[in-house]
Chain A
Amino acid sequence: MQLIGVAAQIAAANASAQAYEASGEAEAQAKRDQAEAVESKAKDEEIIRLQKLRQVRAAQRAYWSAAGIDPATGSPVTVADRSYEMFTLDQGAALINTRSQVRNLNNSADASIRIGKIQAKGARMRGMMGAASSWNT
């Protein structure tokens, strides 16, 4: 094969490799965006749950007051604490879920970059191999 043909083959392999790398980086960026979105959404949901807790505690106090029971002593306090405890359990579960998702997404982002690089190297090697084969013919 002519020298030009071999050079073109090598150039094509390089282009393909660069595409793989770019693709990996793009995918990684998408994953990181996705992770950020998950984190942001988790924060919003935390605020909603906090508002929900406040509403529940206010309704309980209204309930206890309507019944003529002091909401600051005795069972009302226990019930109120119980609500808060449930709230914190929600918060913990949400935190674990969110962190897990964010971690997965970040890992995936890193993996995408590495995959892109591996694929890029593979493309380069294949290109070089092809060029070498061509060169020898």
Chain B
Amino acid sequence: MMWRSVFLHEFPDGRIRSLQALAGKATPASLAMTPEVDAELGRYVLAVSGDQVFDYGLDRPLQAIVGLSVRARLHFPYRRSSRVPVVRVGPAFELALQPEPMPNDAPSRATAVLRVAGANPVGLGTVVDYRRPHARYVDLRVDWHSSGQARLLVDGRLAGYQHSVAVGLSLGVDRIVLGGRPEFAGPPGARFMLSRVMVRALSERDSLGPLVKGLPDIPADDPRLARCRKRVQAELGTTLMQLRQLMARFHASTSQPWTSQGPGDGPFQAVAREAHEAALKAGLALGRTLSDPEYPFDELLAALRDFLVLVRGVLPVEFKALADAQSASQGLSQDCRELLERAIGADPGFERLSKLMRAIHELIMDVAGGH
């Protein structure tokens, strides 16, 4: 699993401390809160409001976060017009609910609103429509990635999509806050109930984990390797940024903002769906290829080719420019290379990964060349 868990509270008992999270501390006021039993649900829930928030600070704040996935099971009976924060993840990411104003205070809809890094809040889609039959508790999920995509799922169904939210940004995460003061003063006692909250995060390079597993160790204390590492990290960061920008342009070209109210042709063009499927197929094939030392490369290479051809078809100029820039890239300097080769020696896992990487590089160049 590439996305790391940050926070999970399912209120399994009447103790506010019964949560799972990265190491950290809740504020004393938060620890004074007590989950209560929702008789109809038959489970513990936490009531939060503007004056009663649960605030959990991480001992070691996360840096360079390029993806966040927030889920909440909540009962939101609050129907006035102020925007109510539901979950804040660090200073730059806030998921809120915005009840829609009705002239006579009659029940209307509540919309999920996402704010990332000071940009204008984006309405993602309807979470509860009070005018229609609805369950008391809804499962709300918002996934954001710095390639710009933000998805809203309600009870497992896509309810909203945006393709250009905070493109290219990476965030810091120092705390998780449940609840918060409404944008404008809410009515006294306005509160909503949380039955479950989960936050996952993806740092810029978390997805490297599976590639590294099983490779030989190298001496950690060699200062020459420390210099190599610094240079490589910078170059990888730049390349990842370029690739994510490319994917952001791909998403912007092949999808459109959408909510369950429309547009009627849905958020994704066929090419976007096909690229997504090819990427998933490639990811699964990569898993098998790395897990099994005898698994052939063909399945992975075929899925990657499908994916790359689709991206090149939409962005031919940008794709070629990226490939050309990278073919001129140095990667490791000669002295770093020699140091590492000496440290690693002959290692079958490394040899196989090298062979796979060379095959994928040839594939990229082949596709960039129009084949």
Query: Are these two chains actual partners, yes or no?
Result: no
